[in-house]
Amino acid sequence: MRGQDTAGTEHRFDQVFHAAWSSAWMEPAALWAGPQADLFAFTAEWLAKGGITPAPDTTTLDGRRVFFNAFSAEGFTMPSALPGFRLCAEVVRERILSRYFLPFTVAVCEADLRGWRPGQKPEDAPHFEQLARAIFDMPHVAAASYSFSQPTQWTQEDKINGPLNEHAKTNRFDMEREVAGSMSYIHSALLPAGKSVSLMLWLATGAPGSEALDYCARIGVQSLTPAPSRSAGDSAVIAMPTANEVTANSWMHGENVEVFATAASRADARPTLDQQLATLQAADGQHLPALRALQRIATENLAEADLRHIATLGEILDDTSTALQARQMIVERQEKPSVADLMAIAALTPQHDDPALAQTALAAAAEKAPQIKLVGEWLQNSCLGTACTFSTAVEQVKPAIEVPQEE
């Protein structure tokens, strides 16, 4: 950016630059509007001085995943749109698996092959099963389970099962039946001698939780989740990209790792029209229309960057209720809530409205950073009830404390 002052002297301001002391990247709107700089080229020049790292792919990062092929059970028993309406599994076997002798993993759903899914007929089961056996007989094809009935949630508190028809012969609706039971069926009814099954391929609409991953770990079963998307569960939402548009290839659940089959496409990661509209309106000073654009997005589709945008717009418009709600949602999604977000909640909570919430947030922040106590005391005595922000409190007491820097 270039400009002149009143004296006619030209000035230049660079948002992204390298210097003798380090490098800097300053784009306030990058998290929701996307970066204007090539961050990989920027960091490569900074860290490697023209080398090959960092690079936006897992193969360069850790030397693995040159490629792999995995077919889910979606559509396995459905007719294709090709002449004759042959089953999709038949088309895949003849046009892909029989032509390319590369390692493939093919997942099947037990209820689907047995004709127990809605709209199916049990008399078709022998044909479905024979087709699965023909695929698993191929030496370069490995088997995986797609569950017994394709449930969309995996918590033991609720019944775990997907939709079944009146012909289904089962009274078990739990984790063991869905995972171990389906694998037992595949091993005994579909696989040739010498082959086994030890991979669980999760549904795109039913991402596993900690309980499901713990169960698989206990019985020695590996698992793979489809590409993370905003509709595939909390873990995938957290893994969605922000500025760099590169998704995680795995995610930790306690001591277990959820591995994603592939990274989400850039189309998945791009902002929605409402997100783009909100960014443009906010940049133009149209704060209320920008807030309304973001509020039209379904809550489950709001990324953390969207929630921070909503909180900021709420504070600008003195809509403390909206700002507070957004901040609370941010903290609920964080495995380890940040001090800044906790303090913002305390600042946005009017004392006459919900003092307990303010006290809880302040206590949690003080536990994480004892030096924040003075900021909390200032908020409690001077700011609660006036919708001051955390940054305002910090500026007031900065001479007296060293504000903690968070990673």
- Domain extent listing, the chain: 2-55, 69-268, 271-400
Q: Using one digit for the tens of pLDDT, what is the confidence trace for 104-158?
A: 999 999 999 999 999 899 999 999 999 999 999 999 999 999 999 999 888 876 6
Q: CATH number of the domain at 69-268, out of 3.30.450, 3.20.20, 1.10.357, 3.40.50?
A: 3.20.20
Among 105-109, 175-179, 307-311, name the one with the lowest average pLDDT: 307-311
The answer to whether 71 and 107 are in contact (CB under 8 A) is: yes
Give the mean pLDDT of the chain.
Answer: 75
Q: Using one digit for the tens of pLDDT, what is the confidence trace for 246-273?
A: 556 777 777 888 887 765 433 344 455 5
Which pTM was predicted?
0.53
pLDDT classification of 235: cutoffs 50, 70, 90: very low
Q: Which of 51-65, 96-110, 229-243, 356-370 has the highest mean pLDDT?
A: 96-110
Q: Which of 27-36, 188-197, 304-313, 334-343 has the highest mean pLDDT?
A: 188-197
pLDDT classification of 276: cutoffs 50, 70, 90: low
271-400 folds as 1.25.40
What percent of the chain has a predicted confidence (pLDDT) above 90?
A: 27
Taking residue 103's Cβ as centre, other Cβ atoms within 10 Å add up to 12
More confident residue, 379 or 19: 19
